[in-house]
Chain A
Amino acid sequence: MKFLVFFVLGVFAVLMFYATTSLPDRGDPAAPANVYVSPDYIERSLEDTGTPNLVTAVLADYRGYDTLGETIVIVTAGLACIIILLKRKDYDTKT
């Protein structure tokens, strides 16, 4: 059983290392990730939003929907902590 696990892990490791050989180089300007919307963001963010910090412009403006989701996740974590951890006085007397 243990041998089988290591065998499967090895097969996947070989598969992943094989896949990394065909990844584009780091910072390659012709890579698919660098030719789609990033050049537009880099060229237009200052005149579009007046914000010198490109990261902030992408985070809060172009990708604002994503950031809204992240904020909802964080507030939900806080609410879950309240629900699970906070002791209430009326429950303490019963249990």
Chain B
Amino acid sequence: MIQKHESIVIQVVARALVPLILLFGVYVIVFGHYGPGGGFQGGVILATGVILHRLCLGRDFSHRTLPPGLAGGAAIAGLLLFGLMGIVPMVFGGAFLDYAHLPLPGYSTVDLRYLGIGIVEVAIGLAVMGASVVIFDSLAGGDSDA
């Protein structure tokens, strides 16, 4: 079980850094269209923010703020979202993962594929973040309230 770090400096710095790291992770995910980045990298950055929180502020506090069940839920939700992005176009007459057949009226084919890529990147980010945090939580031990 991870205790809260005894140094007040590390606690304060961790509290200040974690929101910035999480924000940067979100930025990396949504910036994948225009530069280096995307779901995998952004998801790992989000997970490092959560793990820093766990390591510096102790398990009890960290599990209350960012519950471990939420990480598992995020992993499954990301995978389901990705699967839905594959199946929904199939229902509406396209191929598997063919974002151009998403049932959103008023969008051109290019816009639909642009949107589909964005949703898929978010789904990958959720899945990677959730899986990494779940792996850390189970390695760190302690009994489960997940």
Q: Tell me the A residues contacting B by CB distance below 8 Å.
A: 47-53, 55-57, 59-61, 64-65, 67-68, 70-72, 74-75, 77-79, 81-82, 84-89, 92
Contact = CB atoms under 8 A, between A and B. Distances in A.
Contacts of A51: 33, 113-114, 117
Interface residues of B, number: 44
A61 B34 contact: no
A5 B131 CA distance: 41
A55 to B, nearest CB: 8
Given A53-B32, A68-B97, A92-B143, A75 B110 contact: no
Contacts of B132: 78
Contact of A60 (B79, B111, B120, B139): B120
B97 A78 contact: no
Given A60-B38, A88-B143, A78 B130 contact: yes
A56 B32 contact: yes
A87 B142 CA distance: 7
A81 B114 contact: no
22 contacts: A51-B117, A53-B34, A53-B35, A56-B32, A60-B124, A61-B99, A61-B116, A64-B86, A64-B120, A65-B96, A71-B82, A71-B128, A75-B76, A78-B135, A79-B134, A81-B134, A82-B134, A84-B138, A85-B141, A87-B142, A88-B143, A89-B143
Interface of B: 32-36, 38-40, 72, 75-76, 78-79, 82-83, 86, 96-97, 99, 110-111, 113-114, 116-117, 120-121, 123-124, 127-128, 130-132, 134-135, 137-139, 141-144, 146
